[in-house]
Structure 1
Amino acid sequence: MFIISLTYKTSLENVERYIPGHNLFLQKYYDSGQFIASGRKEPRTGGIIIANAQSMNEAEQIISEDPFYIHQIAEYEITEFIPTKYNENFKIFIED
């Protein structure tokens, strides 16, 4: 499991231009079951994605498709973690 933290490198006005493409990117990975949750940071300096990927390489490959990445709108910090304690409702994302 990975926490992907995006930090904007440009103005919000420029970010807004790429939101539609970014949303399509997000939906692709929600549809595949690899994205669990996402949303903007408050204050609005970027966003967070919680992803279920098999490896850091796979997480990096997924991010490389994001229009925010392609157009250098955001920089990314990817943190891998292994859930060891979680709410029972979250179990579906943990077990194979």
Structure 2
Amino acid sequence: MFVVTLTYIQPLTEVDKLLAAHVEWLKGGYASGMAIASGRKVPRDGGVILARGERAELEAWLAQDPFAVGGVARYDIVEFVPSMAASGFEALTTA
């Protein structure tokens, strides 16, 4: 499993121009099973994606993000193996 953090490297005005395309790209990640959860950071200086799959596939998918293509975000990937989860989230430990 992976925690991907996005950090905006351009002004929000530039990020917002690509937001609709980014959301459509995320929907594809959910449809494929790669994306598990996503959302904005607070304050809004980037975002977070919880993902699963193979690292090479994840990196290829991230490279297609309109935020990456448009050069408005930097990505950091942390891989981890979930061994415990809160009630209701047990499926995460088998991902």
Smaller-chain TM-score bracket: over 0.9
Q: Which residue of 2 aligns with 1:71?
A: 70
Identity %: 38
Farther-moved stretch of structure 1 (85-94 vs 29-38): 85-94
Moved over 6 A (4+): none
Q: Number of matched residues?
A: 95
Superposed CA offset, 1:49-81 (max 9, x none):
000112x21211110110000111100000001
Letter in 2 for 1:82: V
Preserved contact between residue 38 and residue 48 of structure 1 (Cα < 8 Å) = yes
Preserved contact between residue 52 and residue 93 of structure 1 (Cα < 8 Å) = no
Preserved contact between residue 85 and residue 93 of structure 2 (Cα < 8 Å) = no
Preserved contact between residue 34 and residue 51 of structure 1 (Cα < 8 Å) = yes
How far the C-alpha of 1:43 sits from its partner, in A, is 0.6
Q: Which runs of 5+ in 1 are unaligned?
A: none
Query: What is the CA RMSD across the aligned residues, in angstroms?
Result: 1.3
